[in-house]
Structure formats: structure tokens, C-alpha cells
Structure 1
Amino acid sequence: MNGLLLTLHVIVSLLLIGVILLQPGSKGGGLGATFGGGGANSAFGARGAAPFLAKFTYYLAAGFMVTSLVIEVLVVKANRSVLDRAAAVKTAPAKPAPVVPMPAIPAAPDKK
């Protein structure tokens, strides 16, 4: 369950970043116009893709908030913390590395 939720959270956050970058800014166009998105007026109607992207941004932001809250609730219910996990990793005894004897290197003969 946690893996599926984390995967969904990452996908939603990446989509949210992409949709925000595609929206037109104050000068118009946005990142979408850079990659040939100027023909979006014909695909999305006279107003372009701005209203669709704005609504999609709202839905993705809501999804991001919901997944963030659900992940936090699951972490609190499991009585664990990121700081506790990091402290457990630091205090865990490390296994010593196996000792491998070095082979004897013969001495070089004297050249006289």
C-alpha cells in the first residue's frame, strides 16, 4: 500500500511540475510555445489550452495535497519518524570487514 501511494505521489508531483511549466506566463506562450505549442489554439479552441491547463493544475494540486496528507497519516499511525529511522541507521553496529591475508611478495634480486 505504501509503495503504491508513494508511486502515485511521485507521478502526481511530476505531472504537476510539467503542467505548471506548460502554462502561459504573463508574456504568453510558456514552455509549451517553445516546443511548437503555438498550434494549441486550433486544438483547444479560441482561448487556447490555458483554461484546460489551469483546471488540470487544480486537480493535480488537490491530488498532491491528498496524497501528502494520507502519507503523513500512515507515518503517524505506524509510530515512526524519518528522524527515528536515521538515528537507528547511525546507531546500528556495522559489520566488520572480513580480514583477507596479503600474499607474500618476494624480494627483488640484487643486480650488481
Structure 2
Amino acid sequence: MLPLILNVVYVVVAVAMVVLILLQQGKGAQAGSGFGSGASGTVFGARGAANFLSKTTRWLATAFFGITLLMAWLFVHGNQKQVAASNTSSIMASQQAAPATKTAPTAGIPQAPASTVPQAPAQNAPQAPANAPNSAPGGSQKH
């Protein structure tokens, strides 16, 4: 129930934050007020709207990040409990089923006869002749 409530509050806070950010004026929007733009006659006063919107946006952003951290913490700790419970039940189920069925992991796979398996030679590396010159790249041969 708590994750559902947190998700609803999370979406409401996110939408409110987007709306408040879009309502705010940019830094260059003050130039038009000198030519009778009418921005100084608002309900909040000349600077009241900017202060109200910026403070409200700040609180909504804090709530947004706080809810995000809380949801992440709940997700991690909720999954640990579920994983622990599922591991316990699977271990108990495997211990109960283990004595009843003991099958080889290769059951149903045909095995090759021992005589057809090739034997590896003792040495696979070719031997260099004893009288061959040292022809390694970058060697000390003089031409």
C-alpha cells in the first residue's frame, strides 16, 4: 500500500514541479517591464511571484529527491526480504527433494566408447633442427 501512495505523491510532485518551472520567467524577461509589459501589477507584487515560485520549486524539488531516495531504499530492503524468503523456501524444497531423486547430470546423453577417444601425444610443439640458425625477428644476425 505504501509504494502505491508514494508513486501517486511522486507523480503529483513531479507534475507540480514542471508546472512551476514553466511559470517562472527567465533572466532576460525583465527587460520588457520597462516598456509597460504589466509584469509589475501581479497579485504577488513586482518581485513576489518570483520569490514564491522559486521557493515553492525548491521545496518541491527537495520532496521529489526525498521521495526518490525513500522509494529506492524501500525497493532494496523489500527485495532483500523477498529474496531471503525465496532462498529459504527453495533451499528447503531442494533438501526435501534431494534424497528422492539422484540422477546424473548427463542422464540421457550418449557416452562415446573409450576406444574412439583420441589420445593426445606427450609433446605437441614442433622441434627445431639442431643446425638451424637463430632466425628470430630482431635477432643479432648480420647481413
Shift in alpha-carbon separation, 1:20–1:45, aligned structure 2, 3 A: same
1:52-67 to 2 correspondence within 5 Å?
Answer: 52-67=52-67
Q: Which residue in the other structure is 2:24 paired with?
A: 23
- Kept in 2, the 8 Å contact 1:19–1:53? The answer is yes
List runs of 5+ in structure 2 lacking aligned partners: 31-37, 81-143
Shift in alpha-carbon separation, 1:20–1:46, aligned structure 2, 3 A: same
1:93-104 to 2 correspondence within 5 Å?
Answer: none
* CA distance in structure 1 between the aligned counterparts of 2:73 and 2:41, rounded to whole angstroms: 43
1:28-107 to 2 correspondence within 5 Å?
Answer: 28=29, 41-79=41-79
* CA distance in structure 2 between the aligned counterparts of 1:65 and 1:5, rounded to whole angstroms: 12
1:13 is paired with a residue whose SS is: helix
> Normalized against structure 2, the TM-score is what?
0.46
* CA distance in structure 2 between the aligned counterparts of 1:40 and 1:26, rounded to whole angstroms: 15
Runs of 4+ in 1 over 2 A off after TM superposition: 38-42
Aligned length: 72
Computing the radius of gyration from Cα coordinates, the structure with the larger value is 2
- Kept in 2, the 8 Å contact 1:9–1:67? The answer is yes
- The percent of aligned pairs where both chains have the same amino acid is 38
For residues 8-60 of structure 1, give each alpha carbon's deviation from its aligned partner in whole angstroms, at most 9, with x where no partner exists.
Answer: 0000001011101111012217xxxxxxxx56733002324101000001000
* CA distance in structure 1 between the aligned counterparts of 2:14 and 2:53, rounded to whole angstroms: 15
For residues 74-102 of structure 1, give each alpha carbon's deviation from its aligned partner in whole angstroms, at most 9, with x where no partner exists.
Answer: 1001127xxxxxxxxxxxxxxxxxxxxxx
* CA distance in structure 1 between the aligned counterparts of 2:27 and 2:6, rounded to whole angstroms: 35
List runs of 5+ in structure 1 lacking aligned partners: 30-37, 81-112
- Kept in 2, the 8 Å contact 1:13–1:64? The answer is yes
Q: Which residue in the other structure is 2:14 paired with?
A: 13
